[in-house]
Amino acid sequence: MPTPISSIRNLGPAMEASFARVGINNAEELRNLGCDAAYARLLQSGVRPHFIAYYVLEMGLQGRPWNDCKGEEKRRLRVRFDALKEEHCPKTLPIDAALDALGVITAPIRQD
């Protein structure tokens, strides 16, 4: 029987629901994908990027408390997070694209 995602340290019902929406339905699937691939799926689905959620996931998959992430390790994770965000997040918000099409704005506004 599959193990619920919420059984992983630091991850609760909200993260479990978010992962279910992108087809990751249990802890085994999440562990097999790993932090970066799983978080990339969330980003591709339109979930707004949050660095804390990313490192909470990484710490949880390692069986560590979320607040154990500090110093150099946190800096390295930030580099990975920024790369994922750059690769998988739209550069403009949907409203910006609509406003541009109407001629209200002329340049897309970057989503950060």
pLDDT of res. 97: 72
Residue 29 confidence (pLDDT) above 60: yes
Residue 54 confidence (pLDDT) above 90: yes
Report the mean per-residue pLDDT for the chain.
Answer: 90
- Residue 23 token pair: 């087809």
Identify the weakest region by mean pLDDT among 48-57, 72-81, 97-106: 97-106
For the whole model, what pTM was predicted? 0.80
In 3-state terms, what secondary structure has residue 46? coil
Mean pLDDT for 43-57 is 94
Domains of the chain with bracketed CATH:
5-102 (1.10.150.20)
pLDDT band at residue 105 under the 50/70/90 scheme: low
Residue 21 confidence (pLDDT) above 70: yes
- Residue 92 token pair: 């403009």
> What amino acid occupies position 64?
R
